[in-house]
Amino acid sequence: MAPPTIYYIRHGETDWNADGRLQGGQDTPLNDLGLKQAVRAGEILAGLLARDGREPATMPFVASPLQRARHTMDLVRAELKLPSGGYALDNRLREIGYGHWEGSTLAQAQVSHPELYASRERDKWGALPPGGESYASVQVRMRDWYDSLTADTVAVAHGGTARALMVALGIETPASASGLFIEQGVVYVFSDGGVTKYS
């Protein structure tokens, strides 16, 4: 069987995104721009699925359990004329946990834990925020999620999980993925050993 194609969408913007705050597992809502980005991603996805001859109603949809991902998924599905709900939630798709740094900006994290912050600057992939998790551990759970897929899938999750998936699939290295900006309001298609962004 050919590897599954993943139509991957990062959730729309939140106020914490706009403020440069680390969200992690905090359940922050979409802001007005985030709502528009989610709708735009749904419009792009509708065009891609039509191009690829996919019937949305027959495909699996899965989201991170955090509300910013679930709300994005509901708006995406509305653009596809699909009901809200009707999709799976998978905890493996949750955002990287930043522990005690959640709610802080990077500048505040640097002040509160200067040595840990310095280790993160040296090795963003392997570093452990205080009480949080490393990108390396997120990579493991994203690989596990990918290996569980049995069909082409639409997923709505986070920037951190997108980076981890790219490394898990050999598309990026930890060094290249660490600084990669994952856009909102677009669709990333993982297929044939690579990833293409559609905006």
Query: Contact, 50 vs 62, CB < 8 A?
Result: no
The two counts, helices (H) then strands (E), for the chain are 8, 6
pLDDT digits (tens, 9 = 90+) for 10-39: 999 999 999 999 999 999 999 999 999 999
Helix (H) or strand (E) run with residue 76 in it: helix 67-79
Domains of the chain (ranges, CATH numbers): 6-198 (3.40.50.1240)
**pLDDT(42) > 90:** yes
pLDDT digits (tens, 9 = 90+) for 106-145: 999 999 999 988 988 899 999 999 999 999 999 999 999 9
The residues assigned a catalytic role are 11, 95
